[in-house]
Copies of this chain bind each other. A is one copy, B any other.
Amino acid sequence: MNYPSALIEEAVNELSKFPGIGKKSALRMVLFLLKQEETEVTKMGEAIIKLRKEIRFCERCNNVSDSQYCNICNNPKRDQQSICVVEDLRDVMAIENTNQFYGTYHVLGGLINPIQGIGPEQLKIESLLKRVKEVEAKEIIMALSANMEGDTTVFYLSRKLQPLQVKISTISRGIAVGGELEYADEITLGRSILGRIPYTTN
């Protein structure tokens, strides 16, 4: 497509990098930006830059954080020996919203996905194993998406955790098979945490 200005072309190219945003949607976003006050647009641009530049990750659980340890890890009321393993921070937020879990989290940063070239070494698995030993964890709750990548990751983790003799459970399949964790409603997600079942490989 021919753009009437190099500035527009550049902004469209940048915005269309977002997943699910094509060139047409990006152009609509650009038109929206052109109609806004300059201070508003500058604020948005700076928020994006600042986000990536200043974001920190909890040194214990890999959740995003404003300081060395996240609010959940820092909370003395949270059970450090009960660790809920999740894919990313959206899942932490979703589970926190259920008010059904009083342990701590471990954010893997993804799921094992050989097609996309994501192997166990790209995920925060070593730090999980180290942490399980250190705090003498009593239970690991696998709260991963109910798809092939999630199942593969649970299987891999269970093998790695087996020598540590920790109880492993998965959230119950109250969530529709094939469903994404972030789209589950709070009641279903809360029940699935309460109704977690021991994980077995056979």
**Contact among B14, B20, B97 for A44, CB-based, below 8 A:** B14
In this complex, the member of A32, A49, A55 whose beta carbon has the largest number of chain B beta carbons within 10 angstroms is A49
Shortest CB–CB separation between residue A124 and chain B, in angstroms? Answer: 13
Cβ–Cβ contact B33 & A64, under 8 A = no
Q: A41-B52, A52-B33 are in contact. Are A93 and B3 (CB under 8 A)?
A: yes
Chain B residues near A45 (CB-CB < 8 A): 45-49
How many of chain A's residues touch chain B, expressed as a range? 35 or more
Q: Name the interface residues of A157-202: CB closer than 8 Å to any CB of B.
A: 182
What CA separation (Å) do A53 and B46 show in the bound complex? 13
Given contacts A14-B43, A41-B52, A45-B47, 5 further A-B contacts (CB under 8 A): A4-B65, A5-B65, A14-B47, A19-B28, A33-B48
Give 9 closest A-B pairs by Cβ, nearest first: A45-B49, A41-B52, A45-B48, A45-B45, A11-B51, A14-B47, A14-B44, A5-B64, A7-B51
